[in-house]
Amino acid sequence: MRPMFSSHKVRNVSCGNCHSLLSTHNGNVFSWGIGSHGQLGHGDMETLKQPQLIDALGGVCIKRVGAGGWHSAALADTDDLYVWGWNQSGQTGFQAPVGICTNSTEALKMENSTKDSNAIGVVLNPTLLELEMCADSNSFVSIIDVSCGVRHTAAVTSCGTLITWGWARYGQICHSCCKPDTDIPTDSVHCEAHLPQTVMWFKTHGLYVTGVVCGPWNTFVTTSDYG
């Protein structure tokens, strides 16, 4: 097998269901595999058998990548978070949009539009995701780690909190609103799309989140005590 990255020093690799992402030490991101849901970030839904540079992230130095089932995330050295791909369950962090959006402006418009619970949304190009403010901070959060599951995403902030979003069928995002109600069918409680929200459990238990890894339908974190 001919080495593809002999001239690039690999920084981070992530493999999703049907696609892979790789970041280099100079901040470039390459993707390859099946692109049927826009998860490769090249503005289309084509499949690639060879790694291809994601031009849409040009000028942004990426330090970490995350490949989910059919969506992707990239964390910049500036701690900005970029997302793209399938959004049926809100796994890109935007409210499940109708149709396909090709740029950040369209994604933001769709986020503010009326949600169609039966729609399948696709974000074709890497789009900046501005997350909520920390509960104990007066400024927008700074992201230090990110990971993608099949249909959910989790991020760690610089103030030690965990933010999760996407599908919640198996409790993988740990939102308090996902607790089952005996009067509501289980699928209606867990299968809807959930927007980014802080997981308060760790803070209430005095734990500072330092890292996160998403499995297909679950989430693992590393923590330390506050102080």
Q: What is the pLDDT of residue 37?
A: 95
Residues 6 or more apart in contact with residue 58 via CB below 8 angstroms:
none
> CB under 8 Å to 102, separation ≥6 — which residues?
43, 124, 125
Closest C-alpha to 152, from 135, 140, 169: 169
Enumerate the domain spans of the chain.
10-225
pLDDT at 153 over 90: yes
| Lookup result for tokens 């690799």 | 13
Return d(Cα 11, Cα 25) in angstroms, integer. Answer: 5
What secondary structure letter does DSSP report for 196?
E
Q: What is the pTM of this model?
A: 0.84
Whole-Å CA distances, 55 to 16, 28, 29, 125, 169: 20, 9, 9, 9, 35
Greatest C-alpha distance within the chain? 59
Least confident of 22-26, 30-34, 124-128, 137-141: 137-141
Confirm if 85 and 69 have CB atoms less than 8 A apart.
no
Residue range 74-88, pLDDT digits in tens? 999 999 999 999 998
Q: Which CATH architecture has domain 10-225?
A: 7 Propeller (2.130)
Q: What number is the average pLDDT over the span 50-71? A: 97
The two structure tokens encoding residue 57: 């992230």
Asked if 219 and 152 count as a contact pair (C-beta separation under 8 A), the reply is: yes
Ranked by mean pLDDT, the top range of 26-35, 95-104, 109-118, 126-135 is: 26-35
Q: Are 39 and 83 in contact (CB under 8 A)?
A: no
